Amino acid sequence: MALASEIFGKFDIALDWAQKAYADYHLKDARTYINILKGRIRDAERLDRQMNN
């Protein structure tokens, strides 16, 4: 679900799913994916700020 959400550009929803996978199932790979998603969210926010200037 996290990957599908990311593909459609729904990074916040993808992050929620990845965090749920980590919390509920203790998947170590999910923690890495959470950090990747947080970086992509920051990049998207930065791009939004740059495009609005």
Question: Which domain does 26 fall in, by range?
Answer: 2-52
- The count of domains in the chain is 1
pLDDT digits over 1-53, tens only? 999 999 999 999 999 999 999 999 999 999 999 999 999 999 999 999 999 97
Q: How many CB atoms lie within 10 A of CB 30?
A: 19
Give yes or no for a contact between 19 and 34, defined as CB atoms under 8 angstroms apart. yes
Which amino acid would we find at residue 5? Answer: S
Q: What is the chain's length?
A: 53
Cα atoms in the Cβ-side hemisphere of radius 13 Å centred on 28: 0
Global confidence as pTM: 0.89
